[in-house]
Amino acid sequence: MRVVTHDDMQTRRGPAEWFTGTVWMDASPAGPTPDASVFRVFFEPGARTNWHTHPEGQVLFIVSGVCRVGNEGEPPVDVKAGGIVYFAPDERHWHGANPDSYMVHAAVSPAASTTGGTDWLEPVTDEQYAGA
Ligand code: MN
């Protein structure tokens, strides 16, 4: 068993090359195998990730607010707190707050031992975010 406490987490602002809008994230330190990166992420209303993929997939647990999530070729959907979103490996997607609410999610990604981490792509346009 390994316990990571709040004091072990580092809070930092989400970098502008990965996000649109104001985002804060707490990241777990790397641990022994089997490992997973665990992030608690706060998005202000309208804030969202860039398009990206995860080599070993990702699970989001929506803790607070309303998450807006988009997947390539599909209109975005809103998922309220308590909901869970799964992404398959290399599925091209984005996630953030909806326009009317901030949002906090836990993001769990299995350790990518050989293929590297998240592949960050271009920003989500306002039209894509709106589902226009
Ligand atoms: Mn993701």
Q: Which domain holds residue 19?
A: 6-130
Is 1 among the domain residues?
no
Task: Report whether 20 contacts 48 (CB < 8 A).
Answer: yes
Could you identify the residue written with the tokens 């804060």?
24
Residue matched to tokens 């068993």: 1
Instruction: Over range 56-64, report the average pLDDT.
Output: 96
Q: How far is the CA of 98 from the centre of ligand 1 (A)?
A: 16
Tell me how many domains the chain contains. Answer: 1
CATH number at residue 58: 2.60.120.10
| 5 CA → ligand 1 middle, Å | 24
> ∠ at Cα 33 (52, 105), nearest 5°?
40
Residue 116 banded pLDDT, cuts 50, 70, 90: low
Q: Residue range 82-106: average pLDDT?
A: 97
